[in-house]
Amino acid sequence: MREALSTTAGPEPATGRLREILISKDSRFKNLFDSLQSAQLALAPKQDCIYQYPSASQTTAVHNATANNEALRHALATATHGDQTVALPIAAHMYFLGSIATRLAAFRWTRKKAISEALDIIAVCIDRGALSAALLQSRASLEQAGGLLLFDKDIAGIPKPSSDNAARTQWLVAVNAALGSRAKGMRIDWEDVLAKGLRQGRSKSYKPAEGVQSLEARDLMKGIDALDREIKGTRKVYDFLSEFAHPNIGIFSLGIEDFAHETLKSGLRIYTRTYSAKGRGAYVTEQLASIFFETLEVVHAVSALAQQSDTRLGTLESDLTLQSRSAIRTILRLYPWTTKRTDPCPCFSGRIADACCGRRLRLG
């Protein structure tokens, strides 16, 4: 006699859409889907982002030279009006300070874009019945939000500067260092990839050059654990989603449309799983509906937390802009000849220097 393993699961809706299967199993899914859509719209960037910065190689060379060359430090300390030997070091330093706020703006923009796109794709995949893709994007959204939260906590540990220009500059440099490690983390040698492509040569891991800040990607699980401390269950949800990201049992369970067994005369039970090419995995979806609900519930809570982190980082961006402009104005008062009136202002406001931080100064 053939018996269904589960007699509690309701029938699949005629349309076979994953969204309707889930709502038919638990009506709370409807409000949850609406909340996820609202979170996606809230995180989606509303306008373009412009990130401007000076040459990284020139800026690094100048900073290293200033730190290691006593003659250059002396020249900077004793420079007289019109001394062009200090023009490049001064310009590199000012434009570096001005770029930090735009770098944070780009970091915020890209992270919000990544999370909002993941939420959007989750909705699309659910509508198309692509459960595995929806779960993979859920996992990706947690990873992006974890990185955002870690940077938020990094910044909280950096004391705010006093009005002293040296302290202000140290604060800006500290924030930039924290931002660099979170915004530009990498695991591969990108120069090798761009030069050879992906099918030539062997894969190379990223290795920082001597004297340069390491940008090795790190702390992925630290970000997930930080989220777990804020939202209970995040780590368990992430580990559950990883069963579908890796070639584990989760993948083997997807697409099961029917699961039944029959008992032979001898008493031996024979189980039958039916994987339907046209179905939506109705059986596994109904059996795991409560787990999927908790998963999306955590994804929504994490997206709300990401919005809170972004709001705080928006305040930080404003502080960076104010502090960098104060530092730049102080430098321009000391070395006005190093910047032309018509040069773009080092604070990257979009105005020329004479109309911004160099106003009322006799610029070169």
pLDDT attached to residue 236: 97
Determine whether 37 is exposed, middle or buried from the number of CB atoms within 10 Å of its CB (0-12, 13-18, 19+): middle
Cα dihedral sign, 240-241-242-248:
positive
17 φ, ψ to 5°? Answer: -75, 140
Q: Predicted confidence band at 7 (pLDDT cuts at 50, 70, 90)?
A: very low
* Distance set, CA 41 to CA 38, 112, 311 (Å): 5, 10, 15
**pLDDT above 90 coverage of the chain, percent:** 56
Please provide the average confidence, as pLDDT, over all residues in the chain: 87
Please report how the helices 131-156 and 165-183 are oriented relative to each other, as an axis angle in degrees rounded to 10. Answer: 160
Determine whether 178 is exposed, middle or buried from the number of CB atoms within 10 Å of its CB (0-12, 13-18, 19+): middle
pLDDT attached to residue 72: 64
The answer, yes or no, to whether residue 74 has pLDDT greater than 70, is no
The answer to whether the CB of 25 falls within 8 A of the CB of 10 is yes
pLDDT attached to residue 52: 94
The answer, yes or no, to whether residue 9 has pLDDT greater than 50, is no
Of 253, 70, 105, the residue nearest 179 (C-alpha): 105
Cα–Cα distance, 176 to 96 (Å, whole number): 10
* Distance set, CA 137 to CA 233, 272, 281, 308, 330 (Å): 18, 30, 18, 21, 47
Q: What is the pLDDT of residues 18-66, one digit of tens each?
A: 888 889 889 999 999 999 999 999 999 999 999 999 998 888 888 777 7
Whole-model pTM? 0.86
Beta strands 2-4; 256-263: pairing state: antiparallel
Tokens of 362: 């006799």
Cα–Cα distance, 282 to 119 (Å, whole number): 22
Which residue in this structure is represented by tokens 């982002």?
49
The answer, yes or no, to whether residue 287 has pLDDT greater than 90, is no
pLDDT attached to residue 286: 82
Considering 98-102, 181-185, 209-213, the range whose residues carry the highest mean pLDDT is 98-102
* Distance set, CA 165 to CA 54, 170, 267, 328 (Å): 21, 9, 84, 10
Within 10 Å of residue 291's Cβ, how many Cβ atoms? 12
